[in-house]
Structure 1
C-alpha cells in the first residue's frame, strides 16, 4: 500500500471513504449486540431476567466496538507508514 496524498481533496475523500469501510462489519455487529442488551435491559424490568444478562450484552458490544477502533487505527498507521 502506498501512502495516501492528503493534500489532494479528491484523494483525501477517497481515503476517508476507505477508512469508513475498515471494521464496518465489526462495528455493525457491536451496535447490534449493544442494542439487544438495551432491549433486554428494558424487558428485564417486567420479566424475571437477571440483571447481569443485559449487562453482558452491552459490555460485549462495547468490547467489539473497541476492537473495531483498534483495527481501524492500526490500518491507518500502517497506511501512513506506506506499508
Structure 2
C-alpha cells in the first residue's frame, strides 16, 4: 500500500515532503552537476594548458551532464505527480 498524498497546506507536512522530494534522483542530478563542472573546467584547461585536447571532450561532458540533469528532473516530477495522486 502506498502513502496518501501529503497535505501541502500543513507546514509540517510540507516541510517533510520537501525533504522527501529532495532525495528523489539526487544522485543523478549531483552527477550531472559534477560532470558539468568537469566539462567547464576541461574547456578552460583546453584553451590554456591542454590545447591538444580535442574540442569534443568538454562538449561530451557538458551534454552528458545536461542529459543526467534532465533525467533527474523528469524522475522527480514523475515521483511528485505519483505522490499527489496517492500512488
Structures share a fold, TM > 0.5?
yes
> CA offset at residue 31 of structure 1?
0.7
Partner of 2:12: 10
Map 1:22-61; keep pairs closer than 5 Å.
22-46=24-48, 47=50, 48-61=52-65
> CA offset at residue 20 of structure 1?
0.8
Partner of 2:79: 75
How many residues align? The count is 83
- Normalized against structure 1, the TM-score is what? 0.96
> What are the Cα deviations for residues 20-65 of structure 1, in whole angstroms up to 9, with x where unaligned?
1111111111111111111110111132111111010000000000
> CA offset at residue 67 of structure 1?
0.2
Q: Report the 3-state secondary structure (helix = DSSP H, G, I; strand = E; otherwise coil) of the residue aligned with 1:45.
A: helix
> CA offset at residue 2 of structure 1?
1.1
- Normalized against structure 2, the TM-score is what? 0.91
Q: CA RMSD in A?
A: 0.7
Gapped runs of 5+ residues in structure 1? Answer: none
